[in-house]
């Protein structure tokens, strides 16, 4: 018998930085997914990615089940999420594996408990929570839940270049640089909370752009200022980044001619760096639950 778990990607974060002397972020889910499949076997056991394997063990430990009972579990990950770009591919693999393991064990954990387990394996994203939130990626704690974003899309600018989150965090000046941005990040989180409450993409976009530009002192994104300028001139709502990755997102919705923006971006010099420029859907809580349920239904 096979057991499944699913978790979406994110196109970076709305906002990320130091708030009240701790690091927080707010990610958002898009319509790309990692699916974990577990099956008990006596041979041909696939261990799967190391971090996801660790996730299985963490769930067993959580319920005081001997780890030796996990040895015959075969793990397969099927994902269309780009790796090393800041799109939460690792978090999605871990989250999907945790959910598949819970299904196998016939156990339940809430989303905060799942996030906490994931954060024990590596710094994680808030996409393991179905609600938007201000989230500590280091310890998995939720500072505050935010309103859901409905009917939004993002133009994803994805380069070939990859970046390991651990490399950013291991920089000796990482915290110092984060602290330099503290006032801007506080303003960005306040704007984000207001924008989500009002479902106002203009306010949300302003929060994202502020956080994106502030992060330039930590990791520069090629053509970021040009992309922000294009967003403003062509009527998009703002630009967000993967603060510890390489992708950039431009926030749009159906009221904007995003096909025109896509064509424009693909005709520019920056397209030689951002090799893949495409549209993704931002999925709020209700829509996400429906999509995940439909995907899992086709697998069972």
Of 60-69, 171-180, 186-195, which gets the smallest average pLDDT? 171-180
pLDDT (mean) for 238-265:
97
pLDDT at 43 over 90: no
| pLDDT exceeds 80 at position 168 | no
Give the pLDDT confidence of 71-124 residue by residue, as tens digits: 999 999 999 999 999 999 999 999 999 999 999 999 999 999 999 999 999 999
Residue 76 pairs in a beta bridge with: 37
Proportion of the chain above pLDDT 90, given as a percent: 89
Contact between residue 59 and residue 38 where contact means Cβ atoms under 8 Å apart: no
The pLDDT of residue 150 is: 86
Looking at residue 128, what DSSP letter applies? G
pLDDT attached to residue 94: 98
Question: Can you give the pLDDT at residue 82?
Answer: 96
- pTM across the whole model: 0.94
The HSE-up count of residue 133 (CA atoms within 13 Å, CB side) is: 20
pLDDT value at residue 218 = 86
State the chain's mean pLDDT as an integer: 95
* pLDDT exceeds cutoff 90 at 280: yes
- Domain count for the chain: 1
Rounded to whole angstroms, how far apart are CA atoms 132 and 15? 12
pLDDT number for residue 297: 87
DSSP E strand boundaries for the chain: 2-19, 22-40, 73-79, 133-135, 142-145, 152-158, 238-241, 248-252, 276-282
**What percentage of the chain has pLDDT greater than the value 70?**
99
CA distances (Å), 60 to each of 73, 173, 181, in order? 12, 37, 40
Kindly tell me if the per-residue pLDDT of 172 is higher than 80. no
Q: Is the pLDDT of residue 47 over 80?
A: yes
d(CA 265, CA 270): 7
Inter-residue contact 133 to 147 (CB < 8 Å): no
Q: Is the per-residue pLDDT at 32 higher than 90?
A: yes
**Residue 162: is its pLDDT beyond 80?**
yes
Residue 133: strand pairing partners: 145
Range of the domain at 207: 2-299
Is a pLDDT exceeding 90 seen at residue 147? yes
Give the whole-angstrom CA distance, residue 210 versus residue 214.
Answer: 6
Residue 179, pLDDT above cutoff 80: yes
Domain with 173 in it: what CATH number?
3.30.230.120
Average pLDDT over residues 16-27: 95
Mean pLDDT of 45-53: 95
């Amino acid at each position: 018998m096979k057991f499944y778990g699913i978790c979406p990607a994110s196109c970076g974060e709305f906002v990320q930085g130091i708030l009240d002397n701790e690091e927080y972020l707010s990610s958002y889910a898009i319509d790309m997914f990692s699916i974990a499949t577990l099956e008990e076997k006596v041979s041909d056991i696939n261990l799967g990615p190391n971090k996801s394997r660790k996730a299985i063990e963490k769930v067993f430990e959580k319920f005081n089940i001997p780890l030796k009972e996990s040895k015959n579990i075969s793990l397969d990950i099927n994902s269309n999420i780009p790796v090393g770009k800041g799109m939460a591919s690792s978090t999605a693999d871990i989250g999907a594996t945790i959910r598949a393991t819970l299904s196998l064990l016939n156990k339940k954990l809430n989303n905060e408990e799942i996030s906490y387990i994931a954060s024990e394996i590596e710094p994680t994203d808030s996409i393991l929570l179905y609600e938007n939130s201000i989230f500590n990626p280091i310890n998995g704690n939720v500072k505050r839940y935010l309103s859901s974003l409905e009917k939004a899309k993002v133009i994803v600018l994805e380069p070939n270049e990859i970046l390991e989150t651990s490399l950013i965090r291991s920089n000796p000046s990482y915290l110092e640089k984060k602290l330099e941005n503290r006032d801007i990040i506080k303003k960005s989180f306040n704007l984000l909370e207001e924008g989500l409450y009002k479902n106002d993409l203009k306010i949300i976009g302003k929060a994202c752009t502020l956080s994106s530009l502030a992060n330039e002192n930590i990791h520069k994104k090629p053509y970021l200022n040009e992309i922000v300028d294009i967003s403003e001139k062509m009527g998009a709502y703002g630009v967000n980044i993967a603060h510890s990755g390489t992708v950039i997102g431009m926030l749009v919705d159906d009221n904007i001619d995003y096909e025109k923006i896509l064509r424009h971006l693909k005709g520019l010099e920056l397209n030689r760096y951002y090799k893949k420029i495409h549209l993704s859907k931002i999925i709020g809580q209700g829509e996400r639950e429906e999509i995940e349920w439909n995907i899992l239904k086709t697998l069972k």
